[in-house]
Amino acid sequence: MSIFIDHATRLVVQGITGRDGSFHAKQMMAYGTKVVAGVTPGKGGQRFEDTVPVFNTVAEAVHETKANAAVIYVPAAVAASAIFEAADAGLGLIVCITEGIPVLDMTRALPYVHERGGRLIGPNCPGLISPGRSKVGIIPGNICEPGKIGVVSRSGTLTYEIIHQLSTNGLGQSTCVGIGGDPLIGTNFVHCLTAFEADPETAAIVMIGEIGGTDEQQAAEFVKESVKKPVVGFIAGQTAPPGRRMGHAGAIISGSSGTAAEKMTALANAGISVMKRPADVVPLLKERL
Amino acid sequence: MNLHEYQARDILRRHGIPVPPGEVASTPAEAGAIAARFGGRVVVKAQVHAGGRGKAGGVKLAKTAAEAEAHAKAILGMTIKGLTVQKVLIAPTVEIASESYVGIMVDRASQRPVLMVSPAGGIDIEEVAAKTPDKIHRLAIDPRYGLLQHQALALGFQLYSDVKQARAAADIMQKLYTAVYAVGASLAEINPLVTTPDGTVQALDAKIAIDDSELERRPEIAALRDVSAEAAAEVAAREAGLTFIKLEGDVGCCVNGAGLAMATMDLVKYYGGDPANFLDIGGSSNPQKVVAALRIITGDPNVKSILFNIFGGITRGDDVANGIVQATKAFPLKVPIVIRLTGTNEKEGIAILERAGFAAVSDMDDAVKQAVAKAKGKAA
């Protein structure tokens, strides 16, 4: 098993004819993801790569192809609108890769998705991959191996670094989820930890957090109360100065709150093995497994 | 993006919030002329993106236009927390009966805009939150309905027992909420919200921060950016599509991805070094971005070694390698460089680097150790 995606995932790609959308749609198809439809307004009726039907709206795509998940690669200015549209079409899983969506747009989009029973992953995330089964997003498939480690992270390339360390040391992954670097995101650490804890194929969990907000602290509380599987954690930004946005819109220490030190302490107090550097992930996991 | 106080006051005024008059000056003579128009009794306030202006001597009271001009002369050009004051706000002094705080920000935990009010105004709200949290009243606003009248009025009564003043405050809160969505603010504060001896309620000082993601669709707000109030290297980086933050160390870092960039800085520290900067070249990086990144890093005289840490996903190793080769042809490096390159098109990238006489490492820890040793003048 895996969390959120598997062989049954039937994907519609919003923005399939765009530069990023077309590139990654091809990568996902090559990985074996069931890309059943694409959406680009005005290009309905075309076929992407001679195979995938393109529709003008997500609702049509869902009606015609029984898609059950969407991935969004459209520009930031229209990305919130794409999230609303996917939620309206009744999709249970919406993965938004786009970076730079205004936070105030997300204050409206998030309740809209949740009221319709959908799960949003992201925005500003690399998506997720269940190695050997399905990939939704942009995580490079070639660095992943099927296995028993669940990975959840606020970052992109730092996640690749950690996955790379795992794969080259014989630790495959059940699912890797990038939840995104924005201040407001649809799926947080606690949601992923809940799913990994319930997934019989996941034996241990790696969580990669960073400065800003209190998501990691809440995750630590949750691990203490409700997670029996071993958890190994990392927090990026130990050397970040306060008050500055470190690339990700959500990676900011406000006043004295949201520091790496504070989060590492919370993780350690919850019984999570805390990495000092990315290369610690393998020895710490081996200790706990 | 932070706005200056005078810009924030303009936005509030345009949304119908009572703000006392005030004008901005960039020379002492201008300041004197404005002060004369206001009758001489004014406050001269430095317009700079830093807190603690008063303590730094950037806020001064004047009784005459000549005194205002002298204060402006002292304040213009002074440095507050590393930033040079280019403008001053001249405003007539207001008699104050009471000071409160009203602010709206997006709360990450509730994922909603939250209105915060406190009768303890005029000072740093974080200090109030830390010392006397019971003096802060919070309300998470449902963005579908906005700030409802009865909600605002209830908070108005937390500030004032007089119904007229409570209603005036509630009206200001609703207008502030409208302004937040109208300008794309991530934070909007009125501090202090004052009452005058004759009972009126006014926004004396305001602070607004705009969500950077809003700027593309709001050119009129983007035009308010004051580049003279920012570090030159950070402006250059933004124009090149890079995220750059200068730090105090000597290992110049160039990384793809924000999380990996932070982890790289942390690893520099772990191995006994000190990062000179945070620099994220972003996702689909073309060689030109790498050239711009190297130009910015080498522009910092503190940098003693340069560390590239690239994990190719969307970013291609050959693009980064080409950028490094192009940059070093355009401006030869005076300090050692350590390049870690792995992931997409790693082999192509390493071949390009080797042809140009560079070596590449594949392990992140090895690369960081080498860069730290080289910054200290040792062979790795």
Reported ipTM: 0.95
The SS3 assignment for A281 reads: helix
Strand B23-25 relative to strand A231-236, pairing:
unpaired
**Residues on chain A touching B278 (C-beta within 8 angstroms):** 240, 244, 246-247
Which residue among B266, B343, B364 places its CB closest to the CB of A239? B266
pLDDT interval class at B228 (50, 70, 90): confident
pLDDT in tens, B322-350: 999 999 999 888 999 999 999 888 999 99
Q: Measured between CA atoms, how close is B300 to chain A, in angstroms?
A: 18
**Residues on chain B touching A155 (C-beta within 8 angstroms):** 257-260
Q: Answer yes or no: is pLDDT of B316 > 90.
A: no
Cβ atoms of A5 and A136 within 8 Å: the answer is: yes
Q: Determine whether the interchain pair A161/B260 forms a contact, defined as Cβ–Cβ distance below 8 Å.
A: yes
**Residues on chain B touching A154 (C-beta within 8 angstroms):** 259
CA-nearest of A29, A13, A1, A38 to A141 is A29
* pLDDT attached to residue B315: 85
* DSSP-derived secondary structure letter, A17: T
Q: Determine whether the interchain pair A161/B261 forms a contact, defined as Cβ–Cβ distance below 8 Å.
A: no
- What is chain B's mean pLDDT, rounded? 93
Q: What is the CATH number of domain A139-288?
A: 3.40.50.261
Q: Answer yes or no: is pLDDT of B254 > 80.
A: yes
Which residue among B108, B126, B365 places its CB closest to the CB of A279? B365
Q: Determine whether the interchain pair A234/B257 forms a contact, defined as Cβ–Cβ distance below 8 Å.
A: no
Which residue among A101, A108, A246 places its CB closest to the CB of B258? A246
pLDDT interval class at B126 (50, 70, 90): confident
pLDDT in tens, A14-55: 999 998 899 999 999 999 999 999 999 999 999 999 999 999
Q: Answer yes or no: is pLDDT of B380 > 60.
A: no
Q: Determine whether the interchain pair B108/A110 forms a contact, defined as Cβ–Cβ distance below 8 Å.
A: no
Sequence-distant (≥ 6) Cβ neighbours of residue B165 within 8 angstroms: B156, B159, B195, B199, B201
**Residues on chain A touching B257 (C-beta within 8 angstroms):** 155-158, 247
Which domains does chain B possess? 21-92 (3.30.1490.20), 98-222 (3.30.470.20), 231-375 (3.40.50.261)
Which residue among B258, B283, B364 places its CB closest to the CB of A155? B258
Q: Measured between CA atoms, how close is B69 to chain A, in angstroms?
A: 34
Q: Which of B6, B101, B160, B177 is catalytic?
A: B101
**Residues on chain A touching B181 (C-beta within 8 angstroms):** 104
* pLDDT attached to residue B285: 67
Q: Answer yes or no: is pLDDT of B284 > 80.
A: no
Q: Known catalytic residue: B126? A: no
Touching check for B248 and chain A: CB below 8 Å? no
Q: Determine whether the interchain pair B314/A138 forms a contact, defined as Cβ–Cβ distance below 8 Å.
A: yes
- Measured distance CA(B52)–CA(A124) in Å, rounded: 34
Evaluate whether the domain defined by A10-121 bears CATH number 3.40.50.720: yes
B 300-329 → A contacts, CB under 8 A = 311-315
**Residues on chain B touching A238 (C-beta within 8 angstroms):** 266, 269
Which of B213, B218, B255, B284 has the most A C-beta neighbours within 10 Å, making it the best mutation to test the interface with A? B213
pLDDT interval class at B30 (50, 70, 90): very high
Domain with CATH 3.40.50.261 in chain A: 139-288
pLDDT in tens, B165-186: 999 999 999 999 999 999 999 9
**Residues on chain A touching B211 (C-beta within 8 angstroms):** 102-104, 249
Q: Determine whether the interchain pair A164/B342 forms a contact, defined as Cβ–Cβ distance below 8 Å.
A: yes
Q: Measured between CA atoms, how close is A208 to chain B, in angstroms?
A: 9
Q: Determine whether the interchain pair A140/B344 forms a contact, defined as Cβ–Cβ distance below 8 Å.
A: yes
Sequence-distant (≥ 6) Cβ neighbours of residue A180 within 8 angstroms: A96, A121, A122, A123, A124, A125, A154, A250
pLDDT interval class at B54 (50, 70, 90): confident
What percentage of chain B exceeds 90 in pLDDT? 81
* pLDDT attached to residue B230: 77
Which of A26, A104, A184 has the most B C-beta neighbours within 10 Å, making it the best mutation to test the interface with B? A104
Averaged over B80-98, what is the pLDDT?
92
CA-nearest of A105, A103, A53 to A80 is A105
**Residues on chain B touching A207 (C-beta within 8 angstroms):** none
B-chain residue closest to A161, CA distance: B311
Spell out the long-range contacts of B109-114 with Cβ–Cβ below 8 A and sequence spacing 24 or more: B109/A213, B109/A214, B110/B140, B111/A106, B111/A107, B111/A110, B111/A111, B111/A184, B112/A107, B112/B140, B112/B141, B112/B142, B112/B143, B113/A104, B113/A107, B113/B140, B113/B141, B113/B143, B113/B177, B113/B180, B114/B138, B114/B139, B114/B140, B114/B141
Touching check for A75 and chain B: CB below 8 Å? no
Touching check for B213 and chain A: CB below 8 Å? yes
Domain with CATH 3.40.50.720 in chain A: 10-121
